[in-house]
Amino acid sequence: MRQSQSFGQTLREAPVEAEVASHQLLLRAGYIRSIGAGLFSYMPLAYRSIKKIENILREEIDAIGGQEILMPVVHPADLWKETGRWFEIGKELARFQDMNDRDMVLAMTHEEVVGDLTHREIRSYRQLPQLIYHIQTKFRDEPRPRAGLIRTREFTMKDSYSLDADYEGLDRQYRNHYQAYFNIFNRVGLPVIAVKSDVGMMGGSMAHEYMYLTPIGEDTLIVCDNCGYSSNRQVALFRKPEPPTEEALPVEKVATPGTKTIESLAQFLNVPASQTGKAVFFTATFVSKDETSGNETRHDRLVLAIVRGDMEANETKISNALKAVELRPARPEEIAAAGAVPGYASAKEIDALVLVDDLVARTPNLVVGANEEGYHLKNVNYGRDYTADKVADIVAANGGEPCVVCGNPLRASRGVEVGNIFKLGTKYSEAFQAYFLDKDGVSKPVIMGSYGIGSGRLLACVAEEYHDKEGLIWPVSIAPYHVHLVMLNSNNPVVAETAEKLYHDLRATGLEVLFDDRTEATPGVKFADSDLLGMPLRLVVSDRSLKNNSVEFKLRTQADRQSVPVEDSVSRARAVVDVLFAELKARVVPVPYQD
């Protein structure tokens, strides 16, 4: 590609709304342009990289038996009503009506369509297993798009779906994807770890996320460096301390003026925070279905979660324990309407679902609210003094807590989710009556798995990982071009002729070349743009180099420059690019599966 003819331009400064490095550099280098919050156009250079990512996705999923299809972005809402997700998902699901007033959906994922296709196509166990996938646009109306391509509203994903006759088959396909995803990330040079995660709106029995560790990440990961335990903080476990063995003492009401926080309460009573119970209020949304009409309705309930005062309530664990479709912090007026006093709340005599952490249920003689302004109760014991609608693990793990597996201190890190895999089970096949006849003639639901990677987010994470103060540094596997050929002093016919010949000869060897043939740009601008664009190898043809019958070679990852004879430059460039590919290939190794 001749740079003089390329569509788009570089910018000296990034727009002020670009806060993270990948967003700034992709804008400055002319890779992407924003047309609205979370909505981006991929310019020619970025689109070349995206297509390379997608080809890697295809190769790895094809290698484990995938068949590529293409499913529509627009879905009839009836499909989403069949699974209940029309009612369960909030405003992030884009809903609209067509000209015939039929409810429609812009797809954020495609489990419903796959369930419907499976119902139509699968009849016998002889047709299983199957693995289908597509690479398609999605839309999620994110309330807070951020960090450029890392969190957008419209995005492209590779999502694959496994169909099996039994759970052993699902396990095999899940593990195949587990390894295939590591292959994909290693081929693009992105370091990731796989962690256990919440199944969320997808449902099912198990999920893993592939996390790129970076300070800009939205997710908190809990990792044990000793035994390898890793999990998203949403579902992470830790080894809880054993409560003291004490006789249950009589309840005592004490005046505690101005102690609406655990810190002030513990200081006032001169007790450790671990001897207090913390009351946290949420409003949970539930969906109920009328068995006669089949209609589903949403209703809210106030939830009182009680955790030990030195711990934090985990919203994901609470939502999962209650099987709520949404959970948010309760508003003061909702708490008051239930008969509770904020800062002094008690589980007794309030209109709320009560959820108690399992450690609280085992800890004797806690200090908790008296549900009266300025008063607490000492020596409160679960079972004797109050009960709950449910007891479960509902606290968040933090760095420094003992590992649930080996007891060593856990470490907290930030990360960006770049891929996920789910064991869906029969949730969607049962909703769509996607049954097959097994070898004994018994009708059974198809067992499904779902596996996704976003290509745009992956591109942004690679840009976040590989850059310096001058610009981007692309791994060769997804660089828009392998070689950036820069011509200086184009008014010199020898320079121009040599550069033109090199351009054609390099391409003849299969190398992809971006040729900076611009006549108006100064050498300083050309070098700055070359560093900003980030191609793996730069070749410079100039008056100065040709005086020595040479071409200047420079890898983007290195500061050193080399002079290579003109006659050797094509073969040397080919060899350098081949070495870069070989280095990435060497990263693709088997990864032990951690369930």
pLDDT tier at 291, thresholds 50, 70, 90 = low
Q: In Å, how far are 89, 109, 136, 185 from 418, measured between CA atoms?
A: 22, 15, 16, 9
> In this predicted structure, what is the pLDDT of residue 198?
82
Least trusted range by pLDDT, from 16-20, 40-44, 387-391, 439-443:
16-20
Q: Does the pLDDT value for residue 15 go beyond 90?
A: no
Is the same domain home to 422 and 497? no
Q: Does the pLDDT value for residue 296 go beyond 80?
A: no
> In this predicted structure, what is the pLDDT of residue 346?
87
Is the same domain home to 212 and 75? yes
Tokens read off for 498: 């040599």
The parent domain of residue 168 ranges over: 3-236+412-464
Is the same domain home to 265 and 222? no
Is the same domain home to 343 and 226? no
What average pLDDT does the segment 137-160 reach? Answer: 95
Single residue among 464, 492, 527 that ends a domain in this structure: 464
**318-357 pLDDT per residue, tens:** 999 999 988 999 999 999 999 999 889 988 888 999 999 9
**173-217 pLDDT per residue, tens:** 999 999 999 999 999 999 999 998 887 767 677 899 999 999 999
What average pLDDT does the segment 486-501 reach? Answer: 93
> In this predicted structure, what is the pLDDT of residue 14?
86
**65 vs 131: CA distance, rounded Å:** 6
Q: Is residue 400 part of a domain?
A: no
**135-146 pLDDT per residue, tens:** 999 999 998 899
CATH number, domain of 221, equals 3.30.930.10
CATH number, domain of 572, equals 3.40.50.800
Q: Is residue 475 part of a domain?
A: no
**Average pLDDT of the chain to the nearest whole number:** 95
Q: Does the pLDDT value for residue 309 go beyond 70?
A: yes
**307 vs 463: CA distance, rounded Å:** 41
pTM of the model: 0.90
Q: Is residue 444 part of a domain?
A: yes
> In this predicted structure, what is the pLDDT of residue 490?
80
**38-74 pLDDT per residue, tens:** 999 999 999 999 999 999 999 999 999 999 999 999 9
Single residue among 392, 423, 451 that ends a domain in this structure: 392
Is the same domain home to 266 and 317? yes
Phi-psi region of 47 (alpha: psi -120 to 50; beta: other; left: phi over 0): alpha
Single residue among 364, 392, 420 that ends a domain in this structure: 392
CATH number, domain of 342, equals 3.90.960.10
> In this predicted structure, what is the pLDDT of residue 17?
84
What sign does the CA torsion over 380, 385, 387, 391 have?
A: positive
> In this predicted structure, what is the pLDDT of residue 363?
96
> In this predicted structure, what is the pLDDT of residue 288?
80
Report how far Cα 450 is from the mean position of its chain's Cα atoms: 14
Is the same domain home to 303 and 329? yes
Q: In Å, how far are 134, 160, 204, 314, 419 from 179, measured between CA atoms?
A: 19, 14, 20, 30, 12
- Please list, in sequence order, all residues whose beta carbon lies within 8 angstroms of the beta carbon of residue 538, skipping any fewer than 6 positions away: 483, 484, 485, 486, 530, 552, 553, 554, 555, 556
Is the same domain home to 173 and 271? no
**388-421 pLDDT per residue, tens:** 999 999 999 999 999 999 999 999 999 999 999 9
Is the same domain home to 554 and 456? no
CB-CB contact of 502 with 570 (8 Å):
yes
**551 vs 330: CA distance, rounded Å:** 68
**451-485 pLDDT per residue, tens:** 999 999 999 999 999 999 999 999 999 999 999 99
Is the same domain home to 428 and 337? no
CB-CB contact of 103 with 97 (8 Å):
yes
Report how far Cα 352 is from the mean position of its chain's Cα atoms: 34
**237-258 pLDDT per residue, tens:** 999 999 988 999 999 999 999 9
> In this predicted structure, what is the pLDDT of residue 205?
77
Q: Is residue 471 part of a domain?
A: no
**390 vs 307: CA distance, rounded Å:** 13
pLDDT tier at 510, thresholds 50, 70, 90 = very high
Tokens read off for 495: 């320079």
Q: Does the pLDDT value for residue 294 go beyond 70?
A: no
**542-567 pLDDT per residue, tens:** 999 999 999 999 999 999 999 999 99
> In this predicted structure, what is the pLDDT of residue 204?
72
Question: What total number of domains does the chain contain?
Answer: 3
Is the same domain home to 221 and 258? no
Q: Is residue 76 part of a domain?
A: yes
> In this predicted structure, what is the pLDDT of residue 200?
75
Q: Is residue 401 part of a domain?
A: no
Q: Is residue 337 part of a domain?
A: yes
Is the same domain home to 494 and 457? no
Is the same domain home to 89 and 19? yes
Q: Is residue 398 part of a domain?
A: no
